[in-house]
Homo-oligomer: A and B are copies of this chain.
Amino acid sequence: MFRSVSLRFLRKKIPTKGKIAVRNYTPRRALLYVPGDDKRKIHKAFGLDVDCIALDCEDGVAANQKAQARTTIREFLDIGKPKRTKAFDLGVRVNSIDSGLCHEDLVSCLTGRYLPDTVLLPKVESSEHLLWFADEISHLIRREDHINLIIYIESALAFVNLFDICRTVRQLSKRFSFEPVALVIGSDDLLANLGAMRTEDSKEILYARQKLVLAAKAYELQAIDMVYIKYKDLDGLKQQCEEGMRMGYTGKQVIHPGQVPVVQEAFLPTKAQLEWAEGLLQSFKEHQKTGKGAFSYKGSMIDMPTMKQAENIVKLGKLGK
């Protein structure tokens, strides 16, 4: 009557011997926008200590400057990413699919001498948008190449379809040369779409902000928080960083270089998080020498995603030193 049951849907187990295969991790505590048509600002951004720079074709560029932005960005990409002490993520934010400008943006930024690390795709509202994007990528990038994808969720419809969007992008990424890495909440567009009004504690979009974190974590994506528009108010910025962090955000959009240090400091792991992560990795090392069976730490069974999280925290912690 009792049979042994095959646990087909067991979580990915941790190999008891050998190295853990952890996807290369780039923290994006601050995601800084720079207008794609402004050479001076791009040069300046390259000199900053910032985790992620988005060369912007979209909202930061006037309608009659779109072609100029494409050309300028392409020139920078053809030179190649500048060498810096600390690595950074170099992305291009293209125009939204529905704008009719996205195809030309992609052609321009993906057919040069070097690829950007990441494409940032605004106003994704449905699975169909991602199918369109995958189709573009299949024509523009060789199978053996690879880019990251950051998805903007910034309308009511996008939030309605959010879980579908995540499921679809995870499936598509298995067959196409892109890897989804983060979700961004576009709070200004969302507020406009809802006819809602910005308040200091953002209570009016609490549902949206927390739904995005859940979706991100469920599909192993980074959750990147809203812009703090009062760019001179660094105390307010810090508070909003911490508010987002408490919900699970690990990065924030930044519209001014002066916001970068505050944001990158705020999103460093706490001392307790660091201790937990370092202890876990240490304990795993010891377990690998002697242990058999499941690996547990402080009473919890540890699985692959948790191991990855610990590695990421330790890496992130090093940025603060």
A interface residues, Cβ below 8 angstroms from B: 1-5, 7, 9-11, 59, 62-63, 95-101, 103, 107, 111, 126, 128-129, 132, 135-136, 139-140, 155-157, 159-160, 163, 166, 193-197, 199, 203-208, 210-211, 213-218, 245-248, 250, 294, 296, 299-301, 303, 309
Contacts and interface: CB of A to CB of B under 8 A. Distances in A.
A2 B140 contact: yes
B194 A129 contact: no
**Copy count, this protein chain:** 3
Contacts of A159: 214, 218
A7 B194 contact: no
A216 to B, nearest CB: 8
Q: Is the interface of A mostly helix, strand, loop or mixed?
A: helix
Contact of A196 (B163, B193, B247, B299): B247
10 contacts: A5-B132, A10-B100, A155-B218, A156-B214, A160-B166, A160-B215, A195-B248, A196-B213, A199-B246, A207-B210
Contacts of A215: 156, 160
Contacts of A296: 62-63
B248 A204 contact: yes
B208 A208 contact: no
Given A62-B299, A193-B217, 8 more contacts: A7-B97, A59-B300, A63-B299, A156-B217, A197-B245, A197-B246, A204-B246, A204-B247
A197 to B, nearest CB: 5
A45 B160 CA distance: 38
Contacts of A206: 203, 206-207, 210
Contacts of A111: 2
A300 B62 CA distance: 8
Contacts of A294: 63, 99-101
Contacts of A195: 217, 248, 250, 309
